[in-house]
Amino acid sequence: MTQFRALYYDGRTSQQREVLVWAEPSGRLRVSGDGVDFGCRIAEVRPSPRVGNTARHLQFPDGSQCETGDNDAVDAVFAALPSEAPGRLIHSWESRYGYALLALALTAAALWAGITYGIPALAKQVAAVLPPSTERALGRDALAALDRVLLAPSKLPPARREKMRALFSHMVSGIEGADGYRLELRAGKRLGANALALPSGEIVVTDQLVEIAEKDDELVAVLAHEIGHLRQRHGLRRLLQDSATVLLIAAVTGDLSSIASLASALPAILLQAKYSRDFESEADEFAFDYMKRHGIPPESFGAILLRMDKRRGAASDIPDYLSSHPATRERAERSRAAR
């Protein structure tokens, strides 16, 4: 016969009484001691789950309850009840620290895999089915927001601006699907020498970037790199990855209208988030391929990257082109190897 000591509370007053609780062969639970004596079917009693070594509470049909620290005895009494199976399983895992650590490690691994591979894969899938009109809507207000805060009208001489536009027009005329891309020249203010591609198809190039270029080949290299980001829809995919909740809703329900809610976050994400190494490699390879096909030495890209790296101001509080494009020297070496 399984029995254990407990404190009894009648549910009407705060008085506690010491009682003895035991299970009878008939399937009833008996409570007796200090003026208390009653019994009820074990199946009518609701025990609290076992959590570590904390005290358990047994709730009786009349609202009274018992409290005991003899968890093993309580488990023995209620072992045959199906409702106790989940609680026993939880305690089983709790009491086996090796299993608990294994479960923690597996959970962490699953979380890491989801963030590293799952979310990017979902972002690529959702981006692939979004119509161009959605991208245009996302980027429509982004440039205006940047103009209000970080950019100013270009101060380059008119002839230099026209030359840049002609250079860009010549480039996109030979790239399939790039006819909707537009070049936007701006004074970078705190951004300094910088270039970024908006999902709507605008490529923003600052005056400072144009000024540090020693030859047009270097500007072609940067423009080709940004066109590579547009071709692979990296800006949209990065926006989706940084907004995992909206991404999951769109992927699971197929409702793409929720993507529009990300428009207000686009400028901040473009400036603060970094492209992944894979995104950078894809854009670099696009630029190298374009340059080789047009007889431009790929090392021109590495040359301007290193110059930007050297000139960027340590005092700037705004992420510049290089902070969004890590491993500058490594990429410069790859540009030399791409010849």
| DSSP line for 37-75 | EEEEEGGG-EEPPP-TTPPEEEE-TTS-EEEES-HHHHH
Calpha distance 198→250 (Å, rounded): 21
Q: Which residue has the higher pLDDT, 1 or 222?
A: 222
CATH topology of domain 2-95: PH-domain like (2.30.29)
- Which residue, 185, 255, 176, 183, is CA-closest to 226? 183
Q: Distance (Å, rounded) from C-alpha 178 to C-alpha 203?
A: 12
pLDDT at 321: 45
Q: Which of these, 272, 269, 280, 266, lies nearest to 325 by C-alpha position?
A: 280
pLDDT tens column, 16-41 = 999 999 999 888 999 999 999 999 99
Q: Identify whether the C-beta of residue 78 lies closer than 8 Å to the C-beta of residue 58.
A: no
The C-alpha atoms of residue 32 and residue 38 are separated, in whole angstroms, by: 7
- What is the pLDDT, as a whole number, of residue 311? 75
pLDDT digits (tens, 9 = 90+) for 203-261: 999 999 999 999 999 999 999 999 999 998 887 777 776 666 555 555 555 554 555 55
User: Which pLDDT score is estimated for 105?
Assistant: 81
Q: Look at the block and give the residue holding tokens 């020498």.
A: 193
pTM above 0.75, yes or no: no
Contact 177, 223 (CB under 8 A): no
Region of residue 254 (left: phi > 0; alpha: psi -120 to 50; beta: else): left
SS3 assignment, position 257: helix
pLDDT given for residue 93 in this prediction: 55
305-329 tens-digit pLDDT: 989 888 765 434 444 444 444 477 8
Residue ranges of domains in the chain = 2-95, 130-338
